[in-house]
Amino acid sequence: MTQYSKSDDAIAQLSEEEFFVTQQSGTERPGTGKLLYNKDPGIYVDIVSGEPLFASGDKYESGCGWPSFTKPIEPAHVQEQEDKSHGMIRTEVRSTHGDSHLGHVFPDGPRDRGGLRYCINSASLRFIHRDEMEAQGYGAYLNQVEG
């Protein structure tokens, strides 16, 4: 099993926006994320730790301006905590091993798929195409990605 962790090297390689989002709990501007319209088969991993977070089959178009998913690919890799910033109460989503801010989860997702909407910043994610998953050490998740 691969060990996932936060490292100074990984953080040093982040772009300014990636650092702002993952390390300072920032938010990218809606509609600007590089993965918003990605429809390729594969998985989305934490840009800092590499831990698997979401599968392409659980991604859907919510219209909110950020990539949206119905559930995590590996629930143990996603932590939820109360966020009272910006004058509202929301549920923040962070990666377990990387401790990266990913986004928020809301109860307004597709009812037939569990009812949740994981609203995630593209800047917190790295996409690994299905064809590259085995070579990059994510072969165990191939059965969770559509062919």
Residues with a known catalytic role: 119
Q: Sort strands 90-95 and 101-106 into parallel, antiparallel or unpaired.
A: antiparallel
Q: Sort strands 52-55 and 42-46 into parallel, antiparallel or unpaired.
A: antiparallel
Amino acid at position 94, single letter:
R
The DSSP element (H or E) to which 10 belongs, if any, is helix 8-12
- Residue by residue, DSSP assigns 68-129 as EESS-SSGGGEEEEEE-GGGS-EEEEEETTT--EEEEEES-S-GGGTS-EEEE-GGGEEEEE
Q: How far is CA 16 from CA 20, 28, 102, 110, 144, in A?
A: 6, 11, 15, 33, 32
